[in-house]
Structure 1
């Protein structure tokens, strides 16, 4: 959250799109059964925020994404390819852990 001071006016609070994430609040509610499934186009950070239980799945596949600085920008498909992980198996396990099969 940034403050902008303008002369004799009260400081204006500017909220960024990621303020909720910095406070630890969930970005969006978990998907319900039958809703959109996790796909290889989703970012790793987005999935870990929505479904904290997936952190364990990433670790099981050798992806220590919770400590990675680019998790918010890296899509699962790319991360899996870089680490030579079978992306379809990873996505299936992530969806199972998230309860969106």
Structure 2
């Protein structure tokens, strides 16, 4: 079984009036990504305990190429277009797994 070696951490600040719609749509995006993409292992949606307008995504992929494939999917394009006006800010970090020596 292949294991993920690449992760994405995304922090969104959502405009308050769009929070519920964003959460519904991002949960669908998470489901679609894991279900439709062989290279997507995990797609967690988390909400900040102190500020419900901060949404954090943690996604793991087989490798960076699998993430690039994710970004090229129709469901990613649809999600990005649909939520664009709902987002006040967004930061994305690309993370590479560091394995312990054998």
TM above 0.5, yes or no, is: no
Greater Rg by CA: 1
* TM-score, with structure 1 as normaliser: 0.31
Greater relative contact order (CA < 8 Å, ≥ 6 in sequence): 2
